[in-house]
Amino acid sequence: MMAVLFVSQRRADIPRLHSAFRDIRRINPDQARVMVDDGDRIWLLTDHPEWPGLAGALAGHGAIVVVMSLTPSEVEALMALQVGARGYVHALSPPELLRQVALVTGHQGVWVPAELLSKVVGGAFATLGGRDGLPQENLSVLTERERAVALAVAEGRSNKEVARQLDITERTVKAHLGAVFRKLGVRDRMQLVLSLSRQDANVV
């Protein structure tokens, strides 16, 4: 039977997690290494220095890992995704949001707070080689303007920043981005980066 577990080194509890998931249990990192099973839902707090290794190990066992932070940052978010976590969220998020995160990650999606998404996407693109590591055939189905929009978005720019850079309107950016998503068969910015870099684009 699938378990819902909150993994923390020091923090006694997060009441909002209990409001969102009545059956959640708190365990420490040592317990997590031996208790967690395939399909378990893990809410892992970044309150100890070894959290990236633990997140990777738990994800490797088939658990659905969401990393929680009291001080979210794009660097930490990118690290969480790189080690196999399905989500990254503020530890004090409201219960409704936590349930939404659980829904998305439980259906093979990836969750990152909207305010960090562009920077996380840009960091992921850079980690995967950026423009220099890009197979050119991945862009061959796009028009020149679509290609420019796709690369700017992959580098972590917001729609407003892309519009300013290319001297077009935000509405035009959205139209080009919609065409890019359609042609490449992706659904969001993170999938775009993975697709361009020839990774397995399996996020929502």
Query: pLDDT digits over 143-196, tens only?
Result: 999 999 999 988 888 899 999 999 999 999 999 999 999 999 888 887 788 788
Arithmetic mean of pLDDT, 17-33: 94
Domain for residue 201, yes or no? Answer: no
Is pLDDT at 127 greater than 50 in this prediction?
yes
**Domain range for 160:** 119-196
Q: Residue 198: its pLDDT value, please?
A: 62
Q: Give kind and range of the element (H or E) at residue 4.
A: strand 4-7
Q: Which of 12, 129, 33, 125 is nearest to 74 (CA)?
A: 125
Arithmetic mean of pLDDT, 26-49: 94
Is pLDDT at 78 greater than 90 in this prediction?
no
Looking at the structure, do residues 10 and 99 belong to the same domain, yes or no?
yes
DSSP output for 64-133: EEEEEESS--HHHHHHHHHTT-SEEEETT--HHHHHHHHHHHHTT--B--HHHHHHHHHHHHHHTTGGGG
- Burial group, residue 22, by CB count within 10 angstroms (0-12, 13-18, 19+): exposed
Q: Give kind and range of the element (H or E) at residue 25.
A: strand 25-27
- Burial group, residue 130, by CB count within 10 angstroms (0-12, 13-18, 19+): middle
Residue 103: count other Cβ atoms within 10 Å of its Cβ. 12
Q: How far apart are CA 88 and CA 204, in angstroms?
A: 14
Domain for residue 202, yes or no? Answer: no
Domain for residue 203, yes or no? Answer: no
Domain for residue 32, yes or no? Answer: yes
Arithmetic mean of pLDDT, 58-65: 95
Q: Residue 135: its pLDDT value, please?
A: 67
Query: Which two structure tokens, joined as six digits, stand for 117?
Result: 């998404």
Q: How far is CA 136 from CA 91, 131, 141, 172, 197, in A?
A: 40, 9, 10, 24, 10
Looking at the structure, do residues 82 and 21 belong to the same domain, yes or no?
yes
The chain-wide mean pLDDT, for the chain, equals 87
Looking at the structure, do residues 85 and 167 belong to the same domain, yes or no?
no
Q: Are 135 and 184 in contact (CB under 8 A)?
A: no
pLDDT higher at 122 or 88: 88
Looking at the structure, do residues 96 and 174 belong to the same domain, yes or no?
no
Domain for residue 92, yes or no? Answer: yes
Q: How far apart are CA 5 and CA 24, in angstroms?
A: 5
Q: Residue 30: its pLDDT value, please?
A: 94
Q: Residue 204: its pLDDT value, please?
A: 36
Query: Per residue in 194-203, pLDDT tens?
Result: 788 764 433 3
Beta strands 41-45 and 87-90, pairing class: unpaired
Query: CATH code at 127?
Result: 3.40.50.2300
Confidence of residue 26 (pLDDT cuts 50, 70, 90): very high
168's CB contacts (< 8 A; 6+ apart) are: none
